[in-house]
Structure 1
Amino acid sequence: MVANDTARLLMELETIAATLIPNADIPKLKLRFEEVTNNYNVDRKTLEALENDFKDKVDFYLSALRIEGYSEQTLQGNRYDLMAFSGFVNKAVIQVTTADVRKFLASNPKWVSGTVAKKLSTIKAFYKWMTAEEFILHDPTAKIRTPKQEKRLPKAMSPDELEMIRDACETKRERALVEVFYSTGCRISELSGMKTAEIDWRSGSLPVIGKGNKERIVYLNGKAIYELRKYLSEREFEEDECEYLFSTVRRPYKQMGTTAIRNVINKVASRVETSKKVTPHVFRHSMATNAINNGIELGDLQQLLGHSNPSTTLRYTMVSEERKRNAHKRFVQ
């Protein structure tokens, strides 16, 4: 087996040399390679070892992202996609080809373009890091373009639909959740991480931790402050000592996770007859769209929403028919 492994190594080195050094004297290089390998016992890794190689490299990569401040939710999503890719190709990281990546992306006909783009983005980022860290010399994703995606406009609630959601709330916690979601325009993970002690009641502000572990200040309007005070007074009566703004309803009281928050919003939305699917993120879209309609500056909205790229905020100007209609009345005489 050692002789076969040595021959295979020499063949692969010859192929790499021919690829990277087009004008090289391959016969002479081959002789030099043989001289060097004669001093070593060559033992090719087993399939099991190759499989473990991918997992180890993914662990290294995610550790680097964790140090850079990426959230655990993002890290777990990356791990899921990368290990699914690993299981599909069943190869070591260095053996993956461009064709392997394309086959994986085309392996599930149920994946829409957005799903394919997300998985490709994850794999691209991983191999870009692997190349930068010099674990590998060639990035198999470099030639693969991100698929075109259908531009979907954010689906914001109308003022009437928002009032219907408010009326459908049956508990103080539900009402507080709805108002804080709408007032702050926060992502669900940001709302889950809010802490009661960090609220500045005088200014109606509190800090949240957004994407990339970046902190920003968000604001509570009058309705949000009113409903929050009622909800928190109820918790004090029940001796709920959880430090997080929204807690579970049973002892031991603890932070509401994103799944629990999503379930509450789904329960409230199920009581309302509307064609629009109401999710936690819809409150974010609704806050942004309403702010645009009321004349907010894009730079201010970008800061409130925590967008790192202004173009992400700019999409809200495309969805506001009311804003276009008012602009037409104002400027087209």
Structure 2
Amino acid sequence: MQGLLDPHQLKHLTITLRQALGPKQTEPGQDLLALFLTAKEVEGCSSKTIAYYEATLRHMNTALAKPYTQVESDNLRRYLNDYEVKRGSSKVTIDNIRRIMSSFFSWLEDEDYIVKSPVRRIRRVKTAQVTKEVLSDEELEVLRDACESKRDLAIVDLLASTGMRIGELVRLDRKDVNLHERECLVMGKGNKQRPVYFDARAKLHLTEYLSSRADKSPALFVALDSSARRITVGSIELRLRDLGRSAGINRVHPHKFRRTLATHAIDKGMPIEQVQKLLGHAKIDTTMYYAMVNQSNVKASHRKYLE
């Protein structure tokens, strides 16, 4: 019909046919959630993301106690309101749930299991923009001084100079690191590889750490005992928290290094598009959320460009 109808007429015809024929009938015992999760897996979502989707949607389904294809907008509004009140959840958490529901019901609509997603009428939840803490240059130096092992010092330097995610760090192998070029190849979200770069100090401390090891493990970072087991996310989080306490620095965690790098890069004039590439963000909005520009730099720019 494309040769006979213009785009507006084609869209109207599609809507009319969907209304006339109705949504696709589900087969007995068909698990729409399982089909949706399979689709997300094919799209490249991580196992952690898929597990979060599943837990969120199963909780919603249990609370509503009705088939997905019969859920209405009012049901979801009531569910979100009850969830926030009973659990004391933040607006950010509620909007995350809304986004997951939107993804699921939009998929049901695209696959013709429902005529229209009930989340279409539920607007984005407004959240307060809170400026989160970053590490100052002085705090980074204090953290380095608090490190008692070559491994911990190399981890702090690598996180500080690359801004990589903690999950990317623990998956690194020795072969992924090019010490000469001061770069390494990380596997980011959605199984997407990207290069990240580290400074001369990180190269020096990483070289010293690797030279001190006698094991044959391919992992870049391993446990401090003789097992040579690959280090875990939990063990790094715990170690950084302990380093922060001993250094007298509030709330030291892996993500704080990432936010610090983004903020410092923006403050020093790096184009936001390059910061986006460096951090491996799919959307530039995410980069802007991470990078809270220093107010003193805004004042200086105002005087430079507007006075």
TM-score normalised by length of structure 2:
0.83
- Quick one: percent identity of the two aligned structures? 29
3-state DSSP class of the match of 2:195? Answer: strand
Match of 1:39 in 2: none
- Relative to structure 2, which stretch is displaced further, 294-303 or 117-126? 294-303
* Partner residue in 2 for 1:284: 258
Contact 2:267 2:293 (8 Å CA) reproduced: no
The one-letter code matched in structure 1 to 2:101 is: I
Secondary structure of 2:246 counterpart = coil
Which has the higher Rg, Structure 1 or Structure 2? Answer: 1
Deviation at 1:233, TM superposition (A): 2.0
Following superposition of structure 1 onto structure 2, how do residues 245-324 of structure 1 map, counting pairs within 5 Å?
245-250=220-225, 252-274=227-249, 276-315=250-289, 318-324=292-298
Separation in 2, partners of 1:159, 1:117? 34
In the alignment, what sits opposite 1:327? Answer: 301
Equivalent-residue separation in structure 1 for 2:111 and 2:226 (angstroms): 47
Letter in 1 for 2:297: R
AA aligned to 2:165 is R
Q: Shift of the alpha carbon at 1:68?
A: 1.2
Q: Determine if contact 2:151/2:209 at 8 Å carries over to the other structure.
A: yes
Question: Equivalents in 2 of 1:107, 1:253: separation in Å?
Answer: 48
- SS state of the match for residue 107, structure 1? helix
SS class of match (1:271): helix
Partner of 1:225 in structure 2? 203
Residue pairs, 1:73-222, within 5 angstroms: 73-108=48-83, 109=85, 110-222=88-200
Q: What per-residue deviation string (whole Å, max 9, x for no partner) do you get for residues 51-76 of structure 1?
A: x76xx322211111111111111111
The corresponding residue for 1:63 is 38
Deviation string for 1:274-324 (max 9, x for gaps)? Answer: 3x4222111011112222232222222121111222233334665312422
Displacement of 1:186 in angstroms is 0.8
Q: Measure how far apart 1:132 and its partner are.
A: 0.9
Aligned 8 A contact 1:292 1:323 in 2? no
SS of the counterpart of 2:82? coil
Deviation string 1:227-254 (CA, Å, 9 cap, x unpaired) is: 111222222x2x2x33221223346433
Report the secondary structure of 2:178's partner residue.
coil
Please, which runs of 5 or more residues in structure 1 have no aligned partner? 1-19, 22-44
Q: Which residue of 2 aligns with 1:244?
A: 219
Secondary structure in 2 matching 1:218: strand
How far has the Cα of 1:156 moved from its partner? 1.2
Cα root mean square deviation, aligned: 2.5
> Residue 120 of structure 2: SS of its match in structure 1?
coil
Query: Does the aligned pair in 2 maintain the 1:292–1:316 contact within 8 Å?
Result: no
CA distance in 2, matches of 1:84, 1:231: 46
In structure 2, the residue corresponding to 1:260 is in which secondary structure?
helix
**1:155, 1:309 → 2: CA distance?**
22
Letter in 2 for 1:162: L
Give deviations 1:119-175, integer Å, cap 9, x for gaps.
111111011111111222332212111110111224211111221222222222211
SS, match of residue 131 in structure 1 = helix
Check 1:269–1:135 CA distance in 2 against 1; reply closer, same or farther (3 A cut).
same
Amino acid at match of 1:177: I
Range 310-319 or range 167-176, more displaced: 310-319
Structure 1 length as normaliser, TM-score?
0.77
The Cα of 1:258 is off from its aligned counterpart by: 2.1
Pairwise CA distance, 1:200: 1.2
Instruction: From the superposition, tell whether residues 96 and 315 of structure 1 become closer, same or farther in structure 2 (CA, over 3 Å).
Output: closer
Secondary structure, in 3 states, of the residue corresponding to 1:208?
strand
Contact 1:174 1:268 in 2 (8 A): no
- The DSSP-based 3-state class of the residue aligned with 1:141 is helix
Change in Cα spacing, 1:106 to 1:315, as seen in structure 2 (3 Å) is: closer
